Amino acid sequence: MKVIEVAAPPSPVIAAPPVSDRTRLLLEGPILPTLLRLALPNIVVVVVQATSSAVDAFYLGRLGSDVLAGVALVFPIWMLMVTMSSARSCCCLARGCIRAWAARALLFRRRWRTRL
């Protein structure tokens, strides 16, 4: 009896999209300089906010204790507003990431179905 071997058809090779130099540097570069470069805008914002708060406290302290007491009364409400606005932006960012992930998953599924 003769055995005939049948070769499987070659599977199509899907080429990866080209990666830009900035993305390659982000993925393959040294960790500490990359983290510092990404954290720099946040550090600047925190320094500016701290400086603004210090200048406000100094200026209001010179106006008198009644003004400082009024600011101390409003401060918790102001902090709540700032926190809620940053939480909203974080939620929007998370929602965008989830939508992007779902779109990629659906696209992969469609490509997989058309491949079969």
- pLDDT tens for 24-60 read 887 788 889 888 888 898 888 888 888 888 888 788 8
pLDDT recorded at residue 48: 87
Closest CA to 68 of 79, 60, 78: 60
- pLDDT tens for 71-84 read 888 888 877 777 77
Asked whether 10 and 113 are in contact (CB, 8 A), the reply is no
> Is 60 exceeded by the pLDDT of residue 116?
no
Task: Tell me the average pLDDT of the chain.
Answer: 76
Q: What is the pTM of this model?
A: 0.46
Mean pLDDT calculated for residue range 97-106: 74
